[in-house]
Amino acid sequence: MRLGWQRELSAIRSGAAALLAGCTSVALEVTIELKGTELPAWRTYVEQDGFAAAEEFLSTQYGVLLGLDPAGSMGSFLNVAHHVGPLVP
């Protein structure tokens, strides 16, 4: 199922937060929901300096949900989703 880009970004944030908190079952559910999403394109987008700065600002405003390196947390989740996604139905 293809989500809109805002929902995809929110899902990636949720998956990254779940993975960071050790809630692998939630991260897996998000991975399943992201099937059909261009994960490599999101990875490239997340690695941009401007994006990283914006995510860091947002994260500090709402309690550092994604750790000290929000873009890195999101990138780690995207790596997991990219490798695990094809393995789940």
Nearest residue to 47 (alpha-carbon basis) of 19, 64, 70, 63: 70
CA atoms within 13 A on the CB side of 61: 6
Segment 30-46 mean pLDDT: 91
Phi, psi of 53 (to 5 degrees): -65, -40
Q: Give SS3 for 85.
A: helix
> Exposure of 62 by Cβ count < 10 A (0-12 exposed, 13-18 middle, 19+ buried)?
exposed
Residue 64 lies in domain: 5-87
pTM: 0.86
Average pLDDT, whole number, for the chain? 88
**Which pLDDT score, from 0 to 100, does residue 1 have?**
46
pLDDT over threshold 90, residue 15: yes
What pLDDT was estimated at residue 32? 93
pLDDT band at 59 (very low <50, low <70, confident <90, very high): confident
Domain count, the chain: 1
